[in-house]
Structure 1
Amino acid sequence: MRYVAAALLAALGGGEPSAANIKSILSSVGIEADGEKVDQVVAELAGKNIEELIAEGTGKLGSMPAAGGAGAAAAPAAGGAAPAAAAAKEPEPEEEEEDDDMGFGLFD
């Protein structure tokens, strides 16, 4: 992902996503570039319009389901045992601690 990001930065900065530009951008933030991965990114982006690729990718992202919804969908599928277990474990009321700072806390 860092190689793609560096290539996009090079293109958005007015340059071309060449191997030298990608390596320069990555080295400026202390990342050693893997030559094979840089060459692969450059080969994939050769002759393509960056703006069109971004627009195409944005359209694909809009059709993908969000990862957060998967956990919520799985919980009801577990059956009736989960709600019963949750009802059986009601939280105990916490005892109030003595207020040693006389009501003036650093993070209140």
Structure 2
Amino acid sequence: MKVVAAVLLAALGGNSSPCADDIKGILGSVGIDCDDERIELLLGQLKGRDLAEVIAAGREKFASVPSGGGVAVAVAGGGGGGAAAAAAAPEAEAKKEEKVEEKEESDDDMGFSLFD
């Protein structure tokens, strides 16, 4: 990732095709040493390609990756009664919400209020 970041920084600086020395210079300016093999590997993969096109292709690939939305959550019930346990779960949640609201309305500040 350090090498990729250095290539992107070079591109932002106006160098659309940085060489290994440019990348080493960028990384060296912040005290980072990097393996020459990794630099050559990345530069070999980017050779002859436009960086903007590579980024656009990567975005398309990420668009097809599931992001975790719509994950089913299992409701823990105590043995048998599948439908009954599923029906009781919303009621239990409603009771919990009511208890939370009651606590918020209670007089926890012992009669003193900052906004009186």
For structure 1, which runs of at least 5 residues remain unmatched after alignment? Answer: none
Query: Which residue is equivalent to 2:11?
Result: 11
Q: 1:96 to 1:8 in 2, by over 3 A?
A: same
Aligned-partner residue type, residue 40 of structure 2: D
Partner Cα distance (2:108, 2:34) in 1: 55
Unaligned runs of 5+ in 2: 78-84
Task: Write the distance in 2 (CA, Å) between the matches of 1:98 and 1:56.
Answer: 58
Q: Give the TM-score normalised by the residue count of structure 1.
A: 0.63
Distance 1:74 1:49, change over 3 A: same
Aligned sequence identity (%): 43
Aligned-residue Cα RMSD (Å) equals: 3.2
Aligned length: 99
Q: TM-score, normalised by structure 2?
A: 0.60
Secondary structure at the aligned position of 2:27 is classed as helix
Greater relative contact order (Cα < 8 A, sep 6+): 1
How far the C-alpha of 1:41 sits from its partner, in A, is 0.8
